[in-house]
Structure 1
Amino acid sequence: MDARSGQTASGADSAAVDRGGGTDSGWSSRSRRWARTAWTPAWLEKRPRPLRIAIRAILIIFLVLFAIWLILFVTKGRFLKGPFERFATSQLERQVDIGGDFQLYFAPFNIKFYAEDIRIANPAWAREKQFFIAKKVDTRLAALPLIFGRRILRFANLDGAQVALEWDAGNTRNSWTFGDPNRPPQPLELPRIQRAAITNSGLSYRDPQLQLTADIDIDTVKATESRINDAIRFSGRGTMRAQPFTLSGGLASPNETVAGGKNALTLHAVGLGNTLDLSGTLPGPTELEGADLKLQARGANLSRLFDFLGVAIPDTRRYRVTSALTYEDEVWKLTGIKGMFGDSDLAGSLAVSQPKGRVYLKADLATRSLNIIDAGPFVGYDPQRLDAMGTGGTIRTVSGRPRVLPEAPLRAEALKRFDADVRYRVTKVRAESFPMSNVDLTLALKNGLMEMKPLNFILAGGKVRSDISIDTRPAVVRTAYDIRLSPTRLGTLLARFGTEQSGTTGTVSGRIRMVGHGDSVRQSLASSDGRMAFILPQGTFWTRNIQLAELDLGTFVQKLFQDKLKKPVEINCGVIAFTVRGGVAAADPILIDTKKNVMLGRGGFSFRNEAIDMAVRADGKTFSVFSGQSPVGVGGYFAAPKIDPISDELAGRAGAGLGLAILASPVAAIIPFVDPGDAKAAQCGPVLAGARASAQRTTKGEARDDVGKGTTAKSEDGKQTSEGKKKQRKKFLGIF
């Protein structure tokens, strides 16, 4: 009975187990079924198992995120203060400290960051210890764009904030490039701020190489009433190359900004003799993309304005320009430029960017009418002297001697800090002496090498093609000149010097190739080596001056009385060439073969002291009485040349004639002026090839001994040697 009862009880327990209704495993099974029912709606139970798992995972993630959001919202994230300081210090590799309250949470979807007494240290080399300090920072950062790497601040409220922006002495590091201290300097990138309120704040900027310092105070002027109409005002002061400047302006943030409107910007700056006014709109307080601005600038020297960009351009005379200014794809674009510099107009476009942290200029500029005086500062003349003295401002007196070559030093170090591609065209040049037009310059500057290839222009109807390179990379600046003149009519070229265009068919072509060293035009030419050659092919030259140069008194008087003074001189061929060594140019050769004469020249000139010491004489091919057979001396300096048709030799002949007249008879007085007409005609092949003096030949193929050797008899200090003086007496001023 008991046994049976026990068996019955055991069976009942087993049945209960089978039904899952009286043991732990039974309860567990019911719990799982309940959990599935509670977490999984009926519609989800009908879905495939993988889909159910994915949806449950998403729900769990959502719940976890909601829990984090709820915890941060309730606690305001204050417990994250320590971890935030450590994380920021690690990422920036700068010490980050927060001395007061700290909040970091979602409110409700934007990230709210709030900190009091926050400090971010500067690198050890910086002048200021702190890069950023603020009594209070209150911001709202858009969370969703942050996932895609876009930093958009819905709102930023700064109180007592100070930012120190600095470059080191070598411009190899800046204070706003965080992380690895050996990392290349990065451009300053501001987050996009839609609205801002700033009180009692400011920033400072230091650039030792530009010699630029600036301190700017920023404050927000809040509107009364309930409207959101804050205006950010700023004012500042600083120095640029020891010259002070000031700036002021404002950024209005009207109600429309909140709805995606624009901010009205005004800026007025005065410094370095320049006044700049900027006005227009920005999409947001720190949003430059899509800016629509108008720039007006005026001042004494446009190059001083570009100093603010760390860019060196040639000096200019007083200027004024207007332009539209926009910012697109990290490029500042000045379009529709219109203005004047000096008495010349200027138009075109300019783009300024900073690829890889290096300033890059791309410009396309044009001038319809260029006053030659306005071009003076481009090559180193003082614009203030030009303003005060006109063309006379190009001449300076040094040790009692006039100098005309420009001496302003090239800003070589500044040229190494930026790159440029510039196209500049001039339709007409207003110059008294030389009719120039159609100037076309293409300039490329890269890593300190500036190439003007080509620099072309029309001169008296002939085309001048130039390639000039200035290399600032060596310790001493190296300049290479290659200037080519296509055949140009002498009548047009020398019209302002007494040449008659009618009847003058002669032309001239030439080439100048030289290399010099120095950081100014004068220094590069004073140290240059190379060659200059100008070729005169067959033609006529119609002018009174050629007769004076020949000093053939018989022919001159005869033509004077027969009214044939202006009969053209017939040129067979000619070359005027110089070899340049160490800045001293020696005739190599000067040889012009005409129908009646052979004109020869010796001597030369110096780029060192700008002195000229040359002589030109004409030997007749036919017998002539009353021929001086004496050279015309050309001396003085580049700025004050002198022509001396009565040379010492001619005076000596006159004395000899007078002595013979006294001792013998009056007829004997003309003997020293008789030209036997034994001049050796030139072989035109070497002449037209521009060959050196050593290669010149007579028509009989004989080497010429009357055209010099392309050397001078001056010592290195420019003084004439005693040997040179002897040669001068023997060779009619044939040395330099």
Structure 2
Amino acid sequence: MTADGAVTRPFHLGQFTSTLTLQGQDLSDLYLLTGVTLPNTPPYRLAGALKRDDSTWTFNDFTGRVGSSDLSGDVKAETGGRLRLEAQLASQRLDIDDLMAIFGARTQTNAAGTNTTTVSSGAPGKLLPDATLNVDRLRTMDGSLTYRAASVKANQMDIRAVRLGAELEAGVLNLNPVAFTFNRGSLTGTARINAARDMPYSAMDFRLTGYPLESIVPAKNGTAPITGQATGRMLLEGPGNSIHRFAAASKGSVSLVVPNGEMRSAFAELLGINASAGLLKLLRGDQSKADIRCAVADFNVSNGVARAQTLVIDTDVVLANGSGSINLGAETLDLKIDGDSKKPRLLRLWTPILVRGSLTSPRVGVDTGQVVAQGGLAAIVGAVAAPVAALFAFVDPGLAKDANCGALIASAR
């Protein structure tokens, strides 16, 4: 830290103005020097106007970089009683990897200021960071923060803008809003971390709106295998002093709905294990499309295990119903999908599709050692229609009006 300024009254350090430049490996390290709780970050360099007026400190009009992202803003600290910090921050262009450092990822930045690698702080092959939240520091101060990133560097999730708000009071951190804007669609929500207790207890409520499936399953040879827009909601709570430990002990629900879309006919046929139709279309390079009338995944979460309550994919050629679970602690999947063809096929394998393995590297295969007794279309549609109807209001009140998802329910009546 380097300061260049003036003391307005001789030998009275309660009043001064200066230009401050500070740099280091992680902003959270400043706690040891200032007592101010700051998030984990990549290496940083910031410069601005530092002023002290007795118990009021301000660091205004500062600019600089954190990792490979620019950062500017104003910070005010009141030290007369309990420490309180107020900050308004902004980035013109954010590297999303730098933001992930707050949640425990480790970002390596080269001399040119470009991120080269981001490594999860969890075990190798794991998705959820396991960096421990320092709850003692959250109890030492109060404060508020706003942050806005006007644009975001190209990233796999296609995030285009970020907006965050935070209030810390008596060891309870409320995040509102947490908003990510994608090229199409958005993820918005709130989170609450109660760090006043020895083991933090968190609750979150996030809604996904209009996220394109082609961003999840990328195009191959210029053609997207599946298209449509996903809408969902995640409502979870539980104890844990890291994201991974919270997920491993959480309870609640996770739901995802695709009200309409398209997928390659070959994949739709294979979803119902229609070997004659699906395999031939794949071998011939067939790019024809099948309509997705509705797709729904609804999971109940208990003790970190998400169990499928409703898992259905309804296309114009196949109706598939699924079951199974996702272990958020072990980060593994164990799902089974049974398909029923809507059209007669010459050759059909009566066996389910299995989706197993880790969240980072799932394996898709066929259970060739099991014969499946399928009850036909009427039984499948009848079993899923009621849960799907009840799910609409939970995920998006306007979704029940969608014609294609409505057709799924109507076909069961």
Amino acid at match of 2:391: G
What is the aligned partner in structure 2 of residue 528 from structure 1? 250
Counterpart check, 1:368 vs 2:92: yes
Q: CA RMSD in A?
A: 3.2
Unmatched 5+ stretches in structure 2: 395-407
User: How big is the shift at 1:499?
Assistant: 10
Query: How many Å separate the matches in 1 of 2:225 and 2:305?
Result: 36
User: How big is the shift at 1:542?
Assistant: 4.7
What is the aligned partner in structure 1 of residue 355 from structure 2? 634
- Structure 1 residues 509, 457: CA separation in 2 closer, same or farther (over 3 Å shift)? same
Single out whichever of 605-614 and 539-548 deviates more from structure 2.
539-548
Single out whichever of 518-527 and 430-439 deviates more from structure 2.
430-439
Amino acid at match of 2:381: A
Alignment of structure 1 residues 519-668 onto 2, 5 Å: 519-542=241-264, 545-560=267-282, 565-639=286-360, 641-649=361-369
Query: How many Å separate the matches in 2 of 1:409 and 1:521?
Result: 8
Q: With structure 2 as the length reference, what TM-score do the two structures score?
A: 0.85
Query: How many Å separate the matches in 2 of 1:582 and 1:382?
Result: 28
Amino acid at match of 1:340: R
Describe the superposition over 1:113-134 as per-residue Cα deviations: whole angstroms up to 9, x where unpaired. xxxxxxxxxxxxxxxxxxxxxx
Amino acid at match of 2:195: T
Q: Does the 8 Å CA contact 1:382/1:408 hold for their aligned counterparts?
A: no
What is the aligned partner in structure 2 of residue 344 from structure 1? 69
What is the aligned partner in structure 2 of residue 678 from structure 1? 376
Unmatched 5+ stretches in structure 1: 1-275, 654-671, 702-736
Counterpart check, 1:296 vs 2:21: yes
- Structure 1 residues 520, 699: CA separation in 2 closer, same or farther (over 3 Å shift)? same
Alignment of structure 1 residues 184-223 onto 2, 5 Å: none
Describe the superposition over 1:524-550 as per-residue Cα deviations: whole angstroms up to 9, x where unpaired. 111110000111213333586555544
Counterpart check, 1:409 vs 2:409: no
User: How big is the shift at 1:376?
Assistant: 2.4
Query: How many Å separate the matches in 2 of 1:524 and 1:532?
Result: 15
Q: 2:35 aligns with which of 275, 287, 310?
A: 310
Instruction: Count how many residue pairs are aligned between Structure 1 and Structure 2.
Output: 393
- Structure 1 residues 548, 318: CA separation in 2 closer, same or farther (over 3 Å shift)? farther
Counterpart check, 1:690 vs 2:391: yes
Describe the superposition over 1:83-112 as per-residue Cα deviations: whole angstroms up to 9, x where unpaired. xxxxxxxxxxxxxxxxxxxxxxxxxxxxxx
Q: 1:323 aligns with which of 48, 51, 62?
A: 48
- Structure 1 residues 490, 638: CA separation in 2 closer, same or farther (over 3 Å shift)? closer
- Structure 1 residues 597, 360: CA separation in 2 closer, same or farther (over 3 Å shift)? same
Counterpart check, 1:454 vs 2:177: yes
Amino acid at match of 1:279: D
Amino acid at match of 1:580: V
User: How big is the shift at 1:290?
Assistant: 5.8
User: How big is the shift at 1:638?
Assistant: 2.2
- Structure 1 residues 383, 306: CA separation in 2 closer, same or farther (over 3 Å shift)? farther
Amino acid at match of 2:9: G
Higher strand share: 2
Query: How many Å separate the matches in 1 of 2:25 and 2:152?
Result: 22
Question: Sequence identity of aligned pairs in percent?
Answer: 25
User: How big is the shift at 1:485?
Assistant: 1.2
Single out whichever of 518-527 and 500-509 deviates more from structure 2.
500-509
Describe the superposition over 1:546-605 as per-residue Cα deviations: whole angstroms up to 9, x where unpaired. 555444221224434765x22222122221111000111111111121111112221111
Q: Does the 8 Å CA contact 1:316/1:342 hold for their aligned counterparts?
A: yes
- Structure 1 residues 328, 495: CA separation in 2 closer, same or farther (over 3 Å shift)? farther
Alignment of structure 1 residues 163-312 onto 2, 5 Å: 276-288=1-13, 291-312=16-37
Equivalent residue of 1:297, what SS?
strand
Amino acid at match of 2:203: A
Q: Does the 8 Å CA contact 2:310/2:387 hold for their aligned counterparts?
A: no
User: How big is the shift at 1:505?
Assistant: 6.0
Amino acid at match of 1:320: R
What is the aligned partner in structure 2 of residue 466 from structure 1? 189
Q: With structure 1 as the length reference, what TM-score do the two structures score?
A: 0.49
User: How big is the shift at 1:287?
Assistant: 3.6
What is the aligned partner in structure 2 of residue 378 from structure 1? 102
Which of the two has higher C-alpha Rg? Answer: 1
Amino acid at match of 2:100: G
